[in-house]
Structure 1
Amino acid sequence: MEMLGLVIIIVVALGFDYTNGFHDAANAIATSVSTRALTPRAALALAAVMNLVGALISTKVAATVGKGIIDTPDDGAHGLTVVFAALVGAIVWNLITWYFGLPSSSSHALIGGLVGAGLAGGIDVKWNGILDKVVIPMVVSPLGGFALGFLFMLLLLWLFRRMNPHRANSLFKRGQIVAAAAMSLGHGLQDAQKTMGVITLALVVTGHLDASGDYVVPFWVVISCALAISLGTYSGGWRIMRTLGRRVIKFDNTSGFAAQTVASAVLYTTSHYGLPVSTTHVTTSSIMGVGATRRLSAVRWGVAGSIASAWVLTLPMAALVAALAYAVTSFVVL
């Protein structure tokens, strides 16, 4: 029975990874598609490949998610119920925000799900770890993305102020393709690892992995999560792509290149330190920072406000759904 539960957890976790892919595909490619540097299908294919590569590079974020959010449950069946409920909370919130075209955070949905299911299941939550590695980066990373986007765009405008506009446009159009690839690599570094952490947690709970010593993610988990998020990315995230690519600011090739480059830099830095930040938060704030260099009214702040509301609601709402899922699942299973 426990083995069946583990298989179900793995399938559901990979399902979450797939929804993460199509939910967050717009993060990497919306600007490139908006400026027509890439066709939608070419952009999605590029994002899928680079997501796969990024997911294979590191597992530091996976370790944070797997052992830094809640204590490892002692009982296998109980632990699987907690993990299952956390995934349900994350998937449901992902689907709700995807339906309404809101680029919320799949990462924070999963973390909120773990917290909600853990609390409902009587598992100790590592609040200090959440504060240091989730809440503070959640606040700092979008602020950093906005500030760096603003400054980097000003730098580009000054450096290329004397270049022929047609030549500059052609240069940054090619640059956007490179920036989209870099952004997709960063997305794979961040988002695929969170599902790796959850599956590894389930393997530890059921005794298939030793919880002592280093937190080692099995290679089959790494490659499975990498493929799932890549397939999800290629399936597309058209609703959210429209929000980021058209409704926040009006892009040109220079602003698109600037936003993607800044977002990539933030994602690489946070991944290096094992901080599970939101690719959505970072990308959106970078876009707004770039747009603010024109004038504050260039950013559609009403749309930005709706996005910010989804950010604020993600952790508690995913936690609430996960707690309800735990109550239902434990009633049926335990």
Structure 2
Amino acid sequence: MAENPLPSGDLKKLDKELKNISRFEDAVQEISRGNLKFGICILFLVMVGFFAFTQVADASNQVFIVLAGLLGAYMALNIGANDVANNIGPAVGSKALTMTGALIIAAVFEAAGAIIAGGDVVSTVRKGIVNPAAMESDVMFIHAMMSALFAAALWVNLATFIGAPVSTTHSVVGGVMGAGIAATGLGAVNWATMGKIAASWVISPVMGGIIAAAFLALIKFQILFKEDKVTAAKKWVPVLVGFMAGAFAMYLTMKGLKKLWKPSGEVVMLIGLVFFVSTWVIVKPVVAKAAEKIENRRRAVSDLFTIPLIFSAALLSFAHGANDVANAVGPLAAVVGVASGADMTGNVGLPMWILVVGALGIAAGLLLFGPKLVRTVGEKITKLDRARAYCVALSAAITVIIASALGLPVSSTHIAVGGVFGVGFFREFLNNKKKRERLEKVLPEAGEPGVDKGRGEALERLTKKQEKSRRRKLVRRQHLTTIVAAWLITVPLSALLAAILYWMMSTLM
């Protein structure tokens, strides 16, 4: 038998060294990938800056337009890295889509939504936050918009770094407010609008969470908790898919296609009803056929929601691209318009090149940096199967429809993340309730006939101890704390950054 040429101590040292080398190589590869991503972003910004330079003949204003183009592109990259995760996170977390497939679908539909339905007119000041007439000159207005855009982009970048999905709309609103205050004082701010936006911090996640939890309760009590889950699924899944189709048809009509068509409320409701009925008719035999091949298990039934989840990821991305591209290019369009001679108190046209910059930036940011937030939304907050992910996606569409009908400003980011939390907390409630009921059946209550006082007290202590130990937390509190804190400081921090940047820009330029 051959002898080991090395003593066991040396073998352990060698093994440790090899592991250290392996970890070092992994770190080097990670740094290399990060440098490559950073290089691609720099190349994209350089191309946007060069293209913006060629769009204006007036040399005196070219510097403003180039800088605004760079800031708009930077903001678009950050929107893609942070905000789009809410649309595809549930589908990825539930394994309905792979990360690569979800990124490709979202990038294509985000860009399509931005270019096709991104809006042909953008108000020079987002959401009417400040009164541009209060600004003394065009240069002051340009400085304010550029400061607002840069501040919002910096905050979204920081939020992405710490893994917190935040509202880019609120970031831009805070930036415009801070720059407006720095430029003209508190009197320029529309505080009524700011009050509505502050209310949406609470309204959006709570409404999204309640709606998602309500649909999960429906699925659990009408399908998953039934003895014959397959038969229940044949009845209810077509109804739920039809409801999703109707809701998304209304959602896209009201939000995603508002540039192309603005129908009345009655027409929107009729569209939703038509899509609900037609989808139910089409899906019912398909589900019945699929149900013949599945086992009578929760996971098998949950898999019936796979295709609706894929469509929801695409449709949410299209609507998001159509709406939130303005967060990147709205202030950019304002700067370009005013620098080109437009009235800063009116509306400015939105050139196609600006929409393309926004669309490409969102897609690039998603593909390069999006996976981190996708995993946070889809996997780290709570565990999602396809039925739960369906509830989150559906709540996003329904909440926007209800809020739009009531005239309430809501954040799509807050809605989607609120839906994930709602599903997680509802699961937590059901799980702990079930364990308490099971424990009560096993352990007699204190004071029960035939149980002496000492034994009864011991059993009571044991009951409380076991109940506490069995209480599972299915929502990670660490992410809850981080995300809520990020939401609360988004507007004030963006405002502070914008005010500082405005003072710096005014002093230097």
TM over 0.5: yes
Displacement, 1:65? Answer: 5.3
Q: Does 1:300 align with 2:476?
A: yes
Task: Give the unaligned 5+ runs of structure 1.
Answer: none
Give the whole-Å Cα distance in 2 for the aligned partners of 1:108 and 1:177.
28
Corresponding residue for 2:107?
48
Residue of structure 2 equivalent to 1:15: 74
Map of 2:192 onto structure 1 = 128
- Deviation for aligned residue 1:9: 0.8
Specify the SS of the correspondent of 2:83. helix
C-alpha contact 1:75 1:205 (8 A) present in aligned 2? no
One-letter amino acid of the counterpart of residue 69, structure 1 = I
Give, in angstroms, the shift of residue 328 of structure 1.
Answer: 1.2
- Segment of structure 1 superposing worse, 241-250 or 43-52: 241-250
CA distance in 1, matches of 2:324, 2:150: 17
Separation of aligned partners in 2, 1:319 and 1:212: 21
* Aligned position for 2:325: 192
Secondary structure of 1:293's aligned partner: helix
- Counterpart code for 2:212: G
Give matches, 1:12-91, under 5 Å.
12-55=71-114, 56-59=116-119, 62-63=122-123, 66=126, 68-72=128-132, 73-91=135-153
Relative to 1, partners in 2 of residues 1:49 and 1:193: Cα closer, same or farther, differing over 3 Å? same
Given that residues 190 and 267 in structure 1 are in contact (C-alpha distance below 8 angstroms), is that contact kept between their aligned partners in structure 2? no
1:279-294 → structure 2 map (5 Å cutoff): 279-294=412-427
Residue 313 of structure 1, aligned match among 489, 499, 509 = 489
- Equivalence for 1:108: 170
What does 1:172-183 correspond to in 2, within 5 Å? 172-183=305-316
Larger relative CO (CA 8 A, sep 6+): 1 or 2? 1
- What secondary structure sits across from 2:84 in the alignment? helix
Matching residue's letter, 2:131: D
**2:199 matches 1:139:** no
The answer (yes or no) to whether the contact 2:95–2:385 under 8 Å persists in 1 is no
Residue pair 2:149, 2:328 contacting (<8 A) in 1 also: no
Separation of aligned partners in 2, 1:256 and 1:29: 10
Deviation for aligned residue 1:270? 5.5
User: Which residue identity does 1:70 align to in structure 2?
Assistant: V
Q: Structure 1 CA distance, aligned partners of 2:136 and 2:68?
A: 17
Name the count of aligned residue pairs: 332
Contact map agreement 1:25 1:236 (CA 8 A) in 2: no
Aligned to 2:54: none
Residues 225 and 323 (structure 1 numbering): CA distance in 2 closer, same or farther, change over 3 Å?
same
Distance 1:148 1:281 in 2: 13
Deviates more, 1:22-31 or 1:151-160: 151-160
Residue 6 (structure 1) shift:
2.2
**Which residue is equivalent to 2:212?**
149
Asked if the contact 1:2/1:77 (under 8 Å) is kept, the reply is: no
Per the TM alignment, residue 233 of structure 1 is displaced from its structure 2 partner at its CA by 2.0
Cα distance in 2, alignment partners of residues 149 and 215 from structure 1: 39
Which residue is equivalent to 1:5?
64
Counting aligned pairs with the same residue, the percent is 29
Conservation of the 8 A alpha-carbon contact between 1:26 and 1:244: yes
Contact 2:201–2:487 under 8 Å retained in 1: no
Q: Give the superposition deviation at 1:130.
A: 2.4
Secondary structure at the aligned position of 1:250 is classed as coil
2:506 maps to what in 1?
A: 330
CA distance in 1, matches of 2:124, 2:206: 22
Show structure 2 runs of 5+ residues with no match. 1-59, 231-295, 430-472
In the alignment, the residues of structure 2 paired with residue 152 and residue 57 of structure 1 have an alpha-carbon distance, to the nearest angstrom, of 30
Residues 113, 321 of structure 1: 8 Å contact kept: yes
Task: Please tell me whether residue 256 in structure 1 is matched to residue 389 in structure 2.
Answer: yes
Between stretches 46-55 and 296-305, larger displacement belongs to 296-305
Report how far residue 167 of structure 1 moved: 4.1
Q: 1:46 to 1:275 in 2, by over 3 A?
A: farther
Paired with 1:312 and 1:261, the residues of 2 have a C-alpha distance of 25
Deviations 1:119-163 (A, max 9, x none): 11116122222223x223333121110111111211222443422
Q: 1:282 to 1:309 in 2, by over 3 A?
A: same
Asked if 1:228 is matched to 2:361, the reply is: yes
Would you say the 8 A contact 2:146–2:335 is kept in 1?
no
C-alpha distance in structure 1 between counterparts of 2:408 and 2:356, whole Å = 21
Q: Relative to structure 1, is the Cα distance of residues 271 and 46 closer, same or farther in structure 2, using a 3 angstrom cutoff?
A: farther
Q: Contact (CA 8 Å) 2:99, 2:371: kept in 1 or not? A: no
Contact 2:165 2:413 in 1 (8 A): yes
Deviations 1:70-98 (A, max 9, x none): 12245122111111111221121112111
Q: Deviations over 1:174-193 (max 9, x none)?
A: 22211211221232233212
| Pair 1:275–1:80, CA change in 2 (3 A) | farther
Q: CA deviation at 1:232?
A: 1.9
CA RMSD of aligned residues (A): 2.6
How far apart, CA to CA, are the structure 2 residues paired with 1:67 and 1:4? Answer: 26
SS at match of 1:155: helix
How far residue 321 of structure 1 moved from its aligned partner, in angstroms, is: 1.1
